[in-house]
Chain A
């Protein structure tokens, strides 16, 4: 099926976003303390759809919230009454603007695990009801390496609507899914387009070329390049390498990398109790934390830092790949930026993999 492409310009896109914000529940990067996080916004002035990737949190919390209510309970003398929590605020029809390609891709990766043995219905509902509008970056950031991984960034179909900045201020909007097609048809009014609908169809060929050109320039701007196949293969063979001890020595064992990561999906269950009533939450957890594998009897199979780091690297580049055929890393570099001591996952996996050759 072919999807439509619309041509507009900067003011046109701005007006389109304003129209979307006015008519839909819309999440967009909103700035707080110098960092952008996706929040519910109602005016374009409250958000910046072009927020820099290094300062923007991922869209994961909109599908897998940092803390989600699971159930309520009341303890009575007759027993415990368990009840459903209020309606999920994230399950309503909504639009995300200003997402990045790595964000969109992360959901494709997460879909695999959420559709695996247990189907997470909350996640499914949030996914179904969301239209993602993703802007292709013009330039790679210091720690980006998305083009080096196992997905085609240029022809990515993880977002519903793709926005590409072309030459001479032209902006292309292209539907990437049927949901996106319907959304664009309904919401993109022709007044916003540069030229008429006929000229849009007539210039279809050039739009294609323009988008290719933009991607070529973007792909050129990457400093970090690696061969993911080599990394996958070598890591799978060197579980016992002492290199993991070296690369993890300066890790401070906080949870930041996993909490920031758009693909990490481990969680823990905790209760908020007031006297006899309680709320049960499902919140983020991280394998870099020393308590992660601590068992009730006191045994901890991963007491040392290097074992936890090995788990993290191997889960991202070996185990998930073996089970679902995808890397559990989208190359966004957010963990490196957030890390208190600037540990780069790119550096870690490459260093360990290259140590594998020498052995």
Chain B
């Protein structure tokens, strides 16, 4: 998967036609072949842009940054990224007319060891669902969008409750409360986040197991039915915590009760999190 040439051409054209102020893509780190997100405002920097299977980070995250706000933005999105973009649009966080979206029909990205990432192996929507221009060969037609329980969640649910509790206790114990997961999440765009309230009793700034528990649980519940499984959070975690488990568990509960899954695939669909009816089941709440 290498769309470097096409993306450079498109970005150069957009700058030349004056259609964008800033282009959000990837460039090579300069020291190893890992890639870093690049926010380009100068057309001279366009040749630095790349796109390969190491273009991991979900760039929709930058639509909440001060560098792109109220600007016309060119953006590269993979399948999962486009779903988070769809949600940003649905939740009125960005204006579609300010964006020029280059969609990728993604074949999966790799982690630092060169292995295909787990979410890419399980990916149900590899093609960008929002785009002005689509690169690659779409394969959505041949995909089945039926819900499958995540293998890790299936394994966890077979564990006895005490063992499961001990496992998650370890997760929360190893959290260092740096909040990189939240900052890396494209859908965490609140100007003031509740877990930053240092005077609050639940989420005090201390790095204790209980504050980590409350912060991570609140965070994951705010993403219930919205998480697009891009794994930005998990890649960002300096303690390598298996954060996807929290989101996947939410996904399975939502599917069981509301028969909804794959957030952000359908434009304008607000998802279970935003819909309320008096008939909503609530027996899954503790």
Contact = CB atoms under 8 A, between A and B. Distances in A.
A10 interface: no
A347 B31 contact: yes
Interface stretch (B1-9, B85-93, B157-165, B197-205): B197-205
B180 to A, nearest CB: 4
A301 interface: no
A33 B240 contact: yes
B238 A259 contact: yes
A66 B209 CA distance: 12
A272 interface: yes
Interface in A32-62: 32-35, 37, 57
Interface centre among A57, A256, A338, A343 (most CB of B within 10 A): A256
Given A33-B240, A284-B207, A342-B29, A259 B198 contact: no
B32 A142 contact: yes
A304 B66 contact: yes
A34 B67 contact: no
A342 B178 contact: no
B207 A256 contact: no
Contacts of A272: 201, 204, 206, 208, 210-211
Interface residues on A, range: 35 or more
B239 interface: yes
A78 interface: no
Nearest to A291: B196
Contacts of A346: 31
B36 A343 contact: yes
A67 B238 contact: no
User: Size band of the B side of the interface?
Assistant: 35 or more
A342 B34 contact: yes
Interface string B204-220: 11111011000000000
A256 B178 contact: yes
A16 B204 CA distance: 42
Contact of B62 (A142, A143, A250): A250
A33 B29 contact: no
B204 A270 contact: yes
Contact of B239 (A33, A252, A268, A283): A33
Given A281-B205, A304-B66, A254 B184 contact: yes
Given A35-B238, A291-B196, A67 B206 contact: yes
Interface string B29-61: 111101111110000000000000000010001
A1 interface: no
Interface string A317-346: 000000000000000000000101111101
A253 B183 contact: yes
Contacts of A344: 29-31
Nearest to A33: B240
Interface string B182-193: 111000000000
A305 interface: yes
B174 interface: yes
16 contacts: A33-B239, A33-B242, A35-B238, A66-B207, A255-B180, A259-B178, A259-B238, A270-B198, A270-B206, A272-B208, A281-B207, A283-B206, A284-B176, A284-B177, A341-B36, A346-B31
Interface of B: 29-32, 34-39, 57, 61-62, 65-67, 170-171, 174, 176-180, 182-184, 196, 198-199, 201, 204-208, 210-211, 232, 235-236, 238-242
Q: Which 9 A-B pairs have the closest CB atoms?
A: A340-B236, A254-B183, A281-B206, A270-B205, A67-B207, A254-B180, A338-B238, A66-B207, A249-B39
